[in-house]
């Protein structure tokens, strides 16, 4: 059992685009000046966590009750918060928006699992007394502890006073602890999959911190976070260990990974060797893991690199190779963007980018056959988010039969050839461990 001694709060919004990312990042920056702040992100996001990690200097971890389950959320928070003075969790979408019409995977569900106080961010532009109605509805809808309100895009002092007065006259006791004026200089550029990754923009973290400290009552933030009482839980430690080296493709083209994945691989005794398929030669490893990212933006560099031929040769030799989303495009025969680029050519398929979102949402899949990451009959939960289309050869082998989600074609996902498998689905180790993959890597090493 790991005892948790930390302060914590969750930044939620009434919906997407109300400013919760700005608030969360700003609070992380302000509090990191003199405290160890651990960031978390609700949902299957890869981009916001990159900014959180950059600001806090501690790896951000995702909390997703659909992929991880309630126990997985508790265990991840427990492990991640160890040694932190302060934990800040950024929510996803609106506070109560979950899977279909349920609370599962919602910010509210995570808040209730952890019993953490919530700060609700509301876009105040063009509203005054209506804010009181919003707060009343959100606070009474469910048993979430909404402990404070932050107004974004607030107008004059008179505008803020009107909102506070209307809340008081309506009998609402939740305090307004901050009011942020418009500040377009603190925006982050975006592209088709969301915001730019950390390091791709010149966001002034110092200016963001100053902006937050000037317009939010930081004493109230600390007081609310002090009310958090963590639940101690027993953590199951791993038993089986694998003495293998795993190559991790990690660069601007392949950058979508869960920190929990690295944690589990290392806890299983694997040595992680990070490399760039664009600029590095293939390292001497026993298996390869390629995450998602932006291969479409670097198709020319990936095609020109001799590493793709080295990976194809290793895959043909039986090395276990596992890829997710963007990695699927790279492991296929070709990728069409501004023109058609030759890719690794391991899997019998070709991909092309489109201007239309092709799939977004959670996936639940059953493995129809044995694969490098799971035996037949395994149920795996994950998510998909892509603008590409992949067209398979007629004799292509597809591993996953989807219970929900779109996948590659006809409700199927997971192309497999040799001991290589790649899918549009991003998986989480809480749903499917790396044990089978590591078994395959060990067999390859000692053959």
Per the structure block, which two tokens stand in for 332?
């296929």
How many other C-beta atoms can be found within 10 angstroms of the C-beta atom of residue 140?
A: 10
Beta bridge partners of 416: 397, 421
Q: Distance (Å, rounded) from C-alpha 406 to C-alpha 392? A: 15
Catalytic residue at 325? yes
How many other C-beta atoms can be found within 10 angstroms of the C-beta atom of residue 234?
A: 9
Q: Distance (Å, rounded) from C-alpha 216 to C-alpha 212? A: 6
Contact 424, 407 (CB under 8 A): yes
* Contact residues for 139 (Cβ-Cβ < 8 A; gap 6+): 146, 172, 174
Per the structure block, which two tokens stand in for 172?
């609402």
Q: Among 196, 223, 264, 239, which residue's Cα sits nearest to residue 433?
A: 264
User: 110-120 burial string, b = 16+ CB within 10 Å, else e?
Assistant: bbbbbebbbbb
Q: Distance (Å, rounded) from C-alpha 28 to C-alpha 38? A: 8
- Give the angle 98-69-75 at the CA atoms, nearest 5°: 125
Contact 422, 331 (CB under 8 A): yes
Q: Distance (Å, rounded) from C-alpha 47 to C-alpha 204? A: 18
Per the structure block, which two tokens stand in for 221?
């933030």
Q: Distance (Å, rounded) from C-alpha 70 to C-alpha 115? A: 12
How many other C-beta atoms can be found within 10 angstroms of the C-beta atom of residue 222?
A: 14
Contact 143, 111 (CB under 8 A): no
Contact 180, 186 (CB under 8 A): no
Catalytic residue of the set 56, 60, 87, 325:
325
Q: What are the φ/ψ torsions at residue 389 (nearest 5 degrees)?
A: -125, 135
8-state DSSP, 295: G
Q: Distance (Å, rounded) from C-alpha 408 to C-alpha 415? A: 9
List active site positions. 325
């Amino acid at each position: 059992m790991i005892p948790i001694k930390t302060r914590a709060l969750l930044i939620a919004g009434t919906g997407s685009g109300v400013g919760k990312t700005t608030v969360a990042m700003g609070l992380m920056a302000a509090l990191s000046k003199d405290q160890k702040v651990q960031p978390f992100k609700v949902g299957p996001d890869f981009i916001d966590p990159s900014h959180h990690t950059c600001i806090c200097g501690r790896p951000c971890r995702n909390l997703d009750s659909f992929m991880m389950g309630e126990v997985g959320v508790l265990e991840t928070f427990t492990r991640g918060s160890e040694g932190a003075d302060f934990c800040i969790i950024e929510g996803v979408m609106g506070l109560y928006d979950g899977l279909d019409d349920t609370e599962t995977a919602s910010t509210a569900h995570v808040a209730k699992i952890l019993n953490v106080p919530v700060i609700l961010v509301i876009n105040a532009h063009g509203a005054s007394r209506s804010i009181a109605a919003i707060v009343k509805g959100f606070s009474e809808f469910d048993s979430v502890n909404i402990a404070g309100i932050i107004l974004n895009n607030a107008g004059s002092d008179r505008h803020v006073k009107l909102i506070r007065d209307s809340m008081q006259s309506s009998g609402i006791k939740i305090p307004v602890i901050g009011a942020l004026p418009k500040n377009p200089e603190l925006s982050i550029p975006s592209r088709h999959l969301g915001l730019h990754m950390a390091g791709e923009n010149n966001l002034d973290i110092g200016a963001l911190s100053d902006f937050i400290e000037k317009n939010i009552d930081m004493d109230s933030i600390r007081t609310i976070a002090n009310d958090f009482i963590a639940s101690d839980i027993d953590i199951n430690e791993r038993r089986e260990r694998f003495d293998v080296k795993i190559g991790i493709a990690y660069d601007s083209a392949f950058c979508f990974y869960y920190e929990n994945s690295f944690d589990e691989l290392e806890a299983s005794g694997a040595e992680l060797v990070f490399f760039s398929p664009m600029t590095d030669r293939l390292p001497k490893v026993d298996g390869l893991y390629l995450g998602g990212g932006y291969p479409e933006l670097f198709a020319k560099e990936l095609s020109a690199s001799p590493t793709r031929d080295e990976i194809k040769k290793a895959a043909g030799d039986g090395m276990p190779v596992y890829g997710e989303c963007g990695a699927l495009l790279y492991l296929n025969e070709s990728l069409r963007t501004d023109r058609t680029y030759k890719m690794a050519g391991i899997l019998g398929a070709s991909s092309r980018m489109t201007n239309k979102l092709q799939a977004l949402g959670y996936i639940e899949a059953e493995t129809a056959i044995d694969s490098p990451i799971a035996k037949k009959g395994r149920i795996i939960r994950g998510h998909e988010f892509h603008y590409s289309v992949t067209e398979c050869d007629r004799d292509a082998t597809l591993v996953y039969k989807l219970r929900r989600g779109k996948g590659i074609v006809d409700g199927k996902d997971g192309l497999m050839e040799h001991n290589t498998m790649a899918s549009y689905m991003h998986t989480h180790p809480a749903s499917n461990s790396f044990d089978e993959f590591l078994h395959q890597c060990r067999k390859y090493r000692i053959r």
